[in-house]
Structure 1
Amino acid sequence: MGEETPAPPKRHTPAMGWFFFSPSGRIDRLPYILGLLFLTAVNGFLLSRLAAVPEDSTEFVFWSFVGFTTALGSIWSAIAIAVKRLHDMNVPGAVAVCLFIAPIAFLTVLVLCLWPGSSGPNRFGEHRNRPKP
């Protein structure tokens, strides 16, 4: 009887849940920018829906609830992708608190968008755009 060849190890492909909700791992500049643009588009759409309906309608209540819950999720998502971007720069994720300090929040986002990440493996992961194993 011949020996069976073992199956190659499965390569873990990160999912959108990891990208938007987990602070583990690293991401490069482009995924960070695209993630921010996606969150902005979703929140912009919900805000436009809310602005388009009369305040005394049940539809306004519905869009208010959807907008509020989405805003909470968006805040966490923005933190999670910022932490991963900081990890790519070999900086601890706690620096993401700068996003909540109004005078430096814009500068922080600008740095996260423009500053290159560390080349090669670092203490937050071996590869970019992957969770830490």
Structure 2
Amino acid sequence: MTRRQISWLFFGFSGRVSRMAYFLAGLLLAIFQAFALYRFTLAPEESGASAVWATLFWAVFFLSVWSYVALGVKRLHDFGKPGIFAVTLFIPMVSILAFIILCLYPGDDGPNEYGEHTNAPPDG
């Protein structure tokens, strides 16, 4: 996988992404968040390490929010829905159901208005 594909997967809003790619990318983001939080909780209070891990956690958190939205939009595109429905990923309790639906609901067979293929930038 190239740097361009990784950048598109986690930060781009156009194109389509499959159920498996959506799930695995979301899992990877959750692991990064959990690791940064774990390291922060292990660092002694008032130490330089604590400040570094806290800053890293917040940076990973905000990048993850952007990535979750980008992944959700592309997943919705895979079955022909507009990306605006990705806001459901931020509604408490509904977000869990939305994530499960996005992981399980099959995408369109063949091309749709959002792209020719899944798991590739629209022009690549």
TM-score, structure 2 normalization: 0.94
What is the CA–CA distance in structure 2 between the aligned matches of 1:16 and 1:77, rounded to whole Å?
11
Greater share of helix: 2
Question: Are 2:5 and 2:120, in contact at CA under 8 Å, matched by a contact in 1?
Answer: no
Going from structure 1 to structure 2, the CA distance change for 1:43 and 1:108 (only over 3 Å counts) comes to same
Q: Which amino acid aligns with 1:77?
A: S
Structure 1 regions of 5+ residues with no counterpart?
1-11
2:48 paired with 1:87: no
What is the CA–CA distance in structure 2 between the aligned matches of 1:120 and 1:14, rounded to whole Å?
23
- Runs (4 or more) in structure 1 with deviation over 6 Å come to none
Say how many residue pairs are matched.
122
Q: Percent identity?
A: 40
TM-score, structure 1 normalization: 0.88
Corresponding position of 1:23 = 13
- After TM superposition, the structure 1 = structure 2 runs for residues 117-132 of structure 1, keeping only pairs within 5 Å, are 117-132=107-122
2:54 paired with 1:72: no
**RMSD of equivalent CA atoms:** 1.5
Q: Which amino acid aligns with 1:57?
A: S
Structure 2 regions of 5+ residues with no counterpart?
none
Deviation per residue, 1:35-85 (Å, 9 max, x gap):
011001111110110010112111101111111111100100111011100
Could you say which structure has the larger radius of gyration?
Answer: 1
Match of 2:52 among 62, 68, 84: 62
